[in-house]
Structure 1
């Protein structure tokens, strides 16, 4: 089975993919999130893994926009406790380091640790694991990387410091996506903590229109956990709303779609879409 994700082997995306799918798969590491959605849409991979939100930094809003151009569905959500490490060349010591590379989000999560080391230049790169790989490939003894312990294992680099993120509760939530809308058979025996749905919709540009839509969500017994607005492409100053909701265990996609259709008929919302009804896991 082909699994697409942003980054390379040893990245946090790869860690989530291994935790959810297991080891025996073909990994397709991509430079950009959009390529993962393209892999789904074009049939190059059965499943993809994309980060959607970090507890410190917030939502990766661009990944909401990708649902506009790719007919894919969310089939699972995974919470990963992010433990950032300082990775250095096996022949280096901390005294040798003058530069630290990583993904901008990882650098931001470790800003307090890095602030205490003002002589280290921070360099943003596209991937945490890619920074670790680059150090080994280029024998860069003066460069450190912020990344995972898995990246250290994959590329044979040393962990000089563990858990350097400033928030011990730092978590990232990831979506597992698929064109089919069905989770892999192997995941069905895994323990999960909740059932959720993500829907998108627009409203009329009238006073109270969003309030009416949210009242309808409440009336259906859906527990709203997050709402985000994004600009509608090619329509200036019009917005689409994305809602995450916790559901009762017996609710299914057909019930959600039927309820949204009824809300459209009642003029409470427009152009609604169910992006997925899925189980939530934590690693």
Structure 2
């Protein structure tokens, strides 16, 4: 079966770039204008795989996406770290002084807040996608309006780049998950990273005990994120990423944690792309 990959956004978006880098330049994509639509595309088998941003080195975690992955039982098959180079783009022949409004995804605007502090005449407007704004500016010939997006969007939609590298921190990068709804038929013993979700009881030191087990078994905790459990007020679930050198060490830790934790869920086992 040929792969069709769901992305948040349109051609020229950062999600599109990750899909091409991970699956190949000629990948067949399914454009989704929200993460919820992306999830539904996977659940309804309109797409075989999905690319979903999960955290950014400047703006932090995209917390609702952890809930989407958990609640819809999506499987994390891999990860991809993409360097982010934001550009300000508009119709040809315009200057920054002529721009009245800038539209982009809220995460992109957040990552460029220092640049726009120096442009007080510009109104920032949140939108669904970086590249989709560039597309609309081109198709509707919108003057006085600019987009924050990647350079590839300016190329595709034939816009002028008014400023490059406008992100606050130049070493800006976003981590993406590669998702599927299908269970892995056979465990990848070459995997050296895993994403987990667990709940602990309310006893003092419960979380510390779980983390100590991971450490004692040779697991390295690279990420921890808490989310409230909606059905249980003031109780939290924890989403963690761990890396390991020996898969058997990871299996040992899982066997212990299944006994200790109130709930343990493996969201995905995959190769560490940033190691």
| TM-score strictly above 0.5 | yes
Q: How far is 1:15 from its partner?
A: 0.9
Q: Which residue of 2 aligns with 1:170?
A: 172
Q: Which residue of 1 aligns with 2:71?
A: 69
Q: How far is 1:38 from its partner?
A: 2.3
Q: Which residue of 2 aligns with 1:224?
A: 221
Q: Which residue of 2 aligns with 1:137?
A: 139
- Structure-2 separation of matches of 1:3 and 1:262: 36
User: Given the alignment, which residue of 178, 181, 186 partners 1:179?
Assistant: 181
User: Given the alignment, which residue of 83, 86, 111 partners 1:84?
Assistant: 86
Q: Normalising by structure 1, what TM-score?
A: 0.89
Q: How far is 1:256 from its partner?
A: 4.4
CA contact under 8 A between 1:91 and 1:141: conserved in structure 2?
no
SS at the partner of 2:222?
strand
User: Given the alignment, which residue of 247, 250, 260 partners 1:251?
Assistant: 247
Root-mean-square deviation (CA), in Å?
A: 2.1
Q: Which residue of 2 aligns with 1:241?
A: 238
Q: How far is 1:72 from its partner?
A: 1.7
Q: Which runs of 5+ in 2 are unaligned?
A: none
Q: Which residue of 2 aligns with 1:191?
A: none
- Structure-2 separation of matches of 1:126 and 1:167: 23
CA contact under 8 A between 1:257 and 1:273: conserved in structure 2?
no
Q: For each residue in 1:2-60, what CA deviation from the matched residue of structure 2 results, as whole angstroms up to 9, or x when unmatched?
A: 10011111111111111111122321111211222222233221110001101111100
- Structure-1 separation of matches of 2:167 and 2:54: 19
Q: Which runs of 4+ in 1 moved over 6 A?
A: none
Q: How far is 1:130 from its partner?
A: 1.2
Q: For each residue in 1:213-257, what CA deviation from the matched residue of structure 2 results, as whole angstroms up to 9, or x when unmatched?
A: 111111211100111111113221111111111111x427xx746
CA contact under 8 A between 1:256 and 1:274: conserved in structure 2?
no
Within 5 Å, give how 1:52-131 maps onto structure 2.
52-131=54-133
SS at the partner of 2:269?
strand
How many aligned residue pairs are there? 269
Q: Which residue of 2 aligns with 1:197?
A: 194
77 and 237 in structure 1: CA distance in 2 versus 1, 3 angstrom threshold:
same
SS at the partner of 1:4?
strand
CA contact under 8 A between 2:49 and 2:179: conserved in structure 1?
yes
Q: Which residue of 1 aligns with 2:211?
A: 214
Q: Which residue of 2 aligns with 1:263?
A: 257
Q: Which residue of 1 aligns with 2:22?
A: 20
